[in-house]
Structure 1
């Protein structure tokens, strides 16, 4: 293992929570530090959503690269913003499924 493991930020729709957990597990067993969206099991307010969205951008700041979990190519509005932010800050972005950009 290198002195500092790679840090990967997982992005994706909450509808793919299970797929993001699988990606997290696979990356962790590969020796990667994973930062991922917070999991919320109940409805949240607009203010809470705004806070979580801003917090996730800070997670992207911490990462060396971003992995977008996008089964069947689906990418929602929040994830599109995160991809744009990651690219604007120079982070490499990869996808688990093909995505027409």
Structure 2
């Protein structure tokens, strides 16, 4: 995500990206993030999709996780154009 953010920013694109990355291994490593905070972050990310003109899904090797699937469905339901870095 960092590389896509950097490349788009240098191309003059305003990037609205997740501010906290919560992968499965992060959940185990960082017990300081509560379930309430995880829920709030998920909601915040949907609000960021609302602000976006389009959605770029960074999916190395075609991988799309559960939360990303929900976000794609939300973006699709709100009519946002969606593109992917890798085919899936």
TM norm structure 1: 0.75
Q: Report which of the two has the higher share of strand.
A: 1
Distance 1:35 1:49 in 2: 18
Backbone CA RMSD of aligned residues: 1.3
| 2:59 counterpart residue number | 70
| DSSP 3-state at the match of 1:35 | coil
Distance 1:49 1:78 in 2: 11
Question: Alignment length, in residue pairs?
Answer: 80
Distance 2:13 2:75 in 1: 18
Instruction: List gaps (5 residues or longer) in structure 2.
Output: none
Runs of 4+ in 1 over 6 A off after TM superposition: none
Q: Aligned-pair distance for 1:39?
A: 2.4
Q: Report which of the two has the higher share of helix.
A: 2
RCO greater where, 1 or 2, for CA within 8 Å and sep 6 or more? 1
TM norm structure 2: 0.86
Q: Aligned-pair distance for 1:45?
A: 1.2
